A and B are shown apart, each in its own frame.
Chain A
Amino acid sequence: MLVRLSTSERICVVQQNGYQKRVSDIYRFISENLYFNRADLQIKGERYNSAILFSLLTALKKGKELIIGEPGLGKTTSAEFVSSLIYQFPLGVIWGSEVSGHPEQTEEKIIGRPDLGKLNEGEEAVVWTNFSQIPVKIVDEVNRLPETKQSMILDGVDRGNWEYLNEMIINDEYCLFATANYHDGGTNTMIPPLVDRFDVVVESRYPGPNLSFLIGKTKRKDQVLRHPRCEKALQGILKSKVAYEQKIPKMEQICNAFGDYVYETVGIKPLQRREREEIRAEMEGLELDLDASAFLRMVLAEFSFCDRFGQKRVVESCEEGCHYTGYLCHEIKNCASNRLPTSIKQYAQAVAWLLGDTEIDMEHVNLVIPYTLAHRVQWRDETIAQKERSQRDDPFPIFIAKESVRLVSQRYREQSDHVKDALAVASRIFEGESLETPEGDHPLYAEIRKDIDSRRN
């Protein structure tokens, strides 16, 4: 059971357990030794590389991350390094558990297959794949899976339930990394339900010629994350025919031994399962402050509102001359899913925790929203045509998401008091007071009115 701590208690815990420092050390170790790249985002004076930062947060938060980028720029390896250090799995086991996307991929290679020995004896048993069993799941080149086969991993990705024949295993703790190349002859479109299940998208970028040169020149340090004996022992447990639940404590034991080895070798202490759970409990205790909450509502309103049709729907196009033409709802085709606010809160919590803050504020939310939005929004063709040639450093989906968040943020700054007032009045109306429904121009006011009306009638 989680116990909510007061702010002072939380600060005390933060100082005592030092988890933030350990995670920051892991970040630094990866960025200085394993994955060379430039810092491309900044928050509260700290600079981070988005690919490593979001991968770390994904691993800690049990999230799902889509890593895009050109071939050979470290999409898979960045996820492997992070997973190895956060979950204490040697690289060999992670490599052996990866699923690669290709047209011939089958459910038997991804999830599990019948135990042929037992089948001969007339029994039905499933041999689960390493991918379905270990908490770190990496799908390489997910967009090479044909659209019809992408749905095979939907349920597992969403809930951690892996089903084959009539058996099922449930991952209590898991995170997912999927990599995707930009479109080429061998890639397929990712189906929207799968895309929406990813919490964040990041680009593993070219580090620049100088760092790239360094990658070729320096000795490979990823050897430190190899441990043949642990790898062999873990492989043995994974393929043993005991129940999945019994394998977990055995795996943990070996993972801890690997963690100790890493600590002795490089001075970085990977996180044990108990520690990861404690970190998650600390993160869960962080709440959005009023500004972050009101701002997030404004963002969600702009990405879902349609005055004429009640909400955005991908099959309905926006009318010209609508009063709300100046808002983002006019620039998009689809409606924000309910997974979006969850992803934003989860990652904003993680960022706030990492920075040692006691509340989630606008800066945390502002940082994560573009990465949670970029893959989920379908922009109108006119908007794409207008903006895709703009000068930028980010891939277009992340760039346009950042631009739109900047616009909403500007709108929020101009009317934050009024928005918070309106939400306060709405709260009191909801609780039975007879007040006038707040008025304003932003779509959020129309949504507040709808909520109030739906309760009144």
Chain B
Amino acid sequence: MSVPSFIPGVTGRDEGGEKMKASGRPKEKGIRPEREGQCPQNPFQEFRTHQAPSKGDLPLDQIVQSTELVMDQIRHGYEKLLEEEAKELVWMVQYNTIIKAYEVAEKYVKEIDYSSEDIEDFCFALENTQKIPYLIPGPAGLYISALCNYAKEGEIVLKLCELKTEINLLGFRLTKGKRLVIEGDAGDFTGIGLEGGDMVVEGNAKNWTGAGMRSGKILVKKNIGLHTGEWMMGGEIFVGGRVRGLGNIVEGKIYEREKLVYPGKVRYSNTYY
């Protein structure tokens, strides 16, 4: 095996004269030739002739660029939803409005390749960026629900504790096999129309939680508002704190601090107890 010569004068430049990555530390000494015999194998031999195609972009730049591209697509879908569904900046939560808006949201979301982290970024962008014109909790929640339902990941964790606004309609139609964890508080209509999914709210949820849900599980670790489980057709709602009031429930179970409160005789719709 030929022993490569050690050239004391060579600095951190490659053969083409291009500067190698600077680390800011003083240059380090090369391998002493007399030690070559001790470890004849160069474990990096196969990369010796590798030349990167472009040195312009740092990996971080590429990551930021690709994230921004995805965020632009997500934002575009949301703006389209607002254009089509909430032009007047007034948005009423009615069954037909929800269905229609969700279908529009689905249409745009299906075309985007995103990850659960992008959903979380979008939630923050809603409040903290000038690029998104307005945050309307209803459509925003529906759009986020569509993003969650079409995400590649089975489990989506949204850290929303630092958001000032509570987003409504999170977890709409969450499908079987999906798990949505909200770290923070959720707004009104959380988990409505749940279709077998598993939803966890680490904080509080407001009114109409689980309304019209068909199956699945909602766990609210703190308190829950009025009309809980209104017209729910199945599934279970677990509340770690207090339930302020129950809705008119068709079928399903509601637990408060591990105690079954519906079906049960002691509870009446929307009353304190």
Interface residues of A (CB under 8 A from B): 288, 290, 293-294, 390-391, 414-415, 417-418, 420-439, 448, 451-452, 455-456
Q: Find A427's partner among B48, B62, B63 (CB 8 Å cutoff).
A: B48
- Shortest CB-to-CB span from A345 to chain B, Å, is 13
A430 vs B54: C-alpha distance when bound (angstroms) = 24
Decide if B33 touches A427 in the complex (CB within 8 Å). no
- Name 16 extra pairs, CB < 8 A, besides A423-B47, A437-B28: A290-B47, A417-B52, A418-B59, A423-B44, A424-B44, A424-B48, A424-B51, A434-B7, A434-B27, A434-B29, A434-B30, A436-B25, A437-B23, A451-B43, A455-B35, A456-B29
Chain A residue contacts of B55, Cβ below 8 A: 421
Q: Find B8's partner among A390, A424, A430, A434 (CB 8 Å cutoff).
A: A434
A93 vs B254: C-alpha distance when bound (angstroms) = 62
Chain B residue contacts of A435, Cβ below 8 A: 10, 12, 14, 20, 30
- Shortest CB-to-CB span from B73 to chain A, Å, is 19
Of listed A294, A429, A430, A438, residue having the most chain B CB within 10 A? A430
Decide if B59 touches A424 in the complex (CB within 8 Å). no
Chain B residue contacts of A420, Cβ below 8 A: 47, 50, 52
Chain A residue contacts of B39, Cβ below 8 A: 455
Chain A residue contacts of B8, Cβ below 8 A: 434
Decide if A391 touches B48 in the complex (CB within 8 Å). no
Interface residues of B in 213-269 (CB under 8 A from A): none
Chain B residue contacts of A422, Cβ below 8 A: 21
Per DSSP, chain B at the interface is loop
B154 lies within 8 A of chain A by Cβ: yes
Q: Can you report 8 A-B residue pairs in the complex whose CB atoms are below 8 A from each other? A: A420-B52, A421-B21, A421-B55, A423-B44, A434-B6, A434-B10, A435-B30, A456-B31
- Shortest CB-to-CB span from A269 to chain B, Å, is 37
Decide if A424 touches B12 in the complex (CB within 8 Å). no
Chain A residue contacts of B22, Cβ below 8 A: 436
Chain B residue contacts of A428, Cβ below 8 A: 14, 48
The 5 closest A-B pairs by CB, nearest first: A427-B44, A423-B47, A434-B30, A415-B59, A424-B50
Chain B residue contacts of A434, Cβ below 8 A: 6-8, 10-12, 27-30
B4 lies within 8 A of chain A by Cβ: yes
Count CB-based A-B contacts (< 8 Å): 114
Decide if B30 touches A429 in the complex (CB within 8 Å). yes
User: B63-93 interface mask toward A, CB cutoff 8 Å, 1 = contact, 0 = none?
Assistant: 1000000000000000000000000000000
A424 vs B47: C-alpha distance when bound (angstroms) = 5
A439 vs B24: C-alpha distance when bound (angstroms) = 10
- Shortest CB-to-CB span from B60 to chain A, Å, is 9
Chain B residue contacts of A439, Cβ below 8 A: 21, 23
Chain B residue contacts of A288, Cβ below 8 A: 46
Chain A residue contacts of B48, Cβ below 8 A: 424, 427-428, 431
Given contacts A431-B31, A436-B28, contact A426 B44 (CB under 8 A): yes
Decide if B154 touches A390 in the complex (CB within 8 Å). yes
Decide if B23 touches A430 in the complex (CB within 8 Å). no
A288 vs B33: C-alpha distance when bound (angstroms) = 29
A432 vs B9: C-alpha distance when bound (angstroms) = 12
B176: nearest chain-A partner, CB-CB:
A391
Number of B interface residues at 8 Å Cβ cutoff, please give it.
44
Per DSSP, chain A at the interface is helix
Chain B residue contacts of A432, Cβ below 8 A: 4-7, 30-31, 33
Decide if B50 touches A430 in the complex (CB within 8 Å). no
A418 vs B51: C-alpha distance when bound (angstroms) = 10
- Shortest CB-to-CB span from B12 to chain A, Å, is 5
B53 lies within 8 A of chain A by Cβ: yes
Chain A residue contacts of B53, Cβ below 8 A: 417
A294 vs B12: C-alpha distance when bound (angstroms) = 23
Decide if B23 touches A427 in the complex (CB within 8 Å). no
Chain A residue contacts of B133, Cβ below 8 A: none
- Shortest CB-to-CB span from A104 to chain B, Å, is 45
Decide if B50 touches A290 in the complex (CB within 8 Å). yes
A424 vs B21: C-alpha distance when bound (angstroms) = 12
Decide if B20 touches A436 in the complex (CB within 8 Å). yes
Decide if B27 touches A427 in the complex (CB within 8 Å). no
- Shortest CB-to-CB span from A296 to chain B, Å, is 11
Q: Find B59's partner among A290, A294, A414 (CB 8 Å cutoff).
A: A414
- Shortest CB-to-CB span from A420 to chain B, Å, is 5
Chain B residue contacts of A417, Cβ below 8 A: 52-54, 59
Chain A residue contacts of B177, Cβ below 8 A: 391
B42 lies within 8 A of chain A by Cβ: yes
A427 vs B41: C-alpha distance when bound (angstroms) = 10
- Shortest CB-to-CB span from A385 to chain B, Å, is 13
B38: nearest chain-A partner, CB-CB:
A455
Q: Find B42's partner among A293, A430, A436 (CB 8 Å cutoff).
A: A430
Decide if B31 touches A425 in the complex (CB within 8 Å). no
A427 vs B42: C-alpha distance when bound (angstroms) = 7
- Shortest CB-to-CB span from B166 to chain A, Å, is 27
- Shortest CB-to-CB span from A298 to chain B, Å, is 13
B183 lies within 8 A of chain A by Cβ: no
Decide if B30 touches A433 in the complex (CB within 8 Å). yes
B103 lies within 8 A of chain A by Cβ: no
A437 vs B25: C-alpha distance when bound (angstroms) = 10
B33: nearest chain-A partner, CB-CB:
A432
A452 vs B4: C-alpha distance when bound (angstroms) = 16
A78 vs B27: C-alpha distance when bound (angstroms) = 59
B94 lies within 8 A of chain A by Cβ: no
B48: nearest chain-A partner, CB-CB:
A427
